[in-house]
Amino acid sequence: MNKFNDFDDFVTAITTLENVVLFFTASWCEPCKVMYPIVENLASNLSMCHFFKIDVDVEETEQIVEHFDVSSMPTFFFIKNNDIKNTLIGVNKEQFSEYLKVLLNNAPEKKYENNLEVTENNLEVTEKQSDFNVLDNKSK
């Protein structure tokens, strides 16, 4: 999972990457500890999505936390092409899975069929790239 070194890194990532999930967390947050291995697994297995962990109790991320006005942990932002598509506060694996599917199924340059299965302790991920027509995609 990626981290930002400063606000400029954040701006660059948000404005240049297509599919981004921001994971706002804190060292003292027990629900965050539940979601961390799930998000870490997804970050390792979903190459078409960029996951960023933002520690709210670290000085380097203070400006990012203020920018999003985050006050509850965990908080997730699902961002496509610099546009926030969904926000999730707290631990809701089913909703997290749905928001991630929405984010990835709307990829303009590739169409992905994503299967995210919610289990008690994790989200299982399988990824299969479907065929797509580049010409059809450019005409949209």
Please identify every residue annotated as catalytic: 29, 32
Which helix or strand (DSSP H or E) is residue 37 part of?
A: helix 30-45
Q: Is 117 helix (H, G, I), strand (E, B) or coil?
A: strand
Residue 31 preceded by cis peptide, ω within 30: no
Give the span between the Cα atoms of 62 and 30, in whole angstroms: 21
* Residue 79: Cβ within 10 Å count: 21
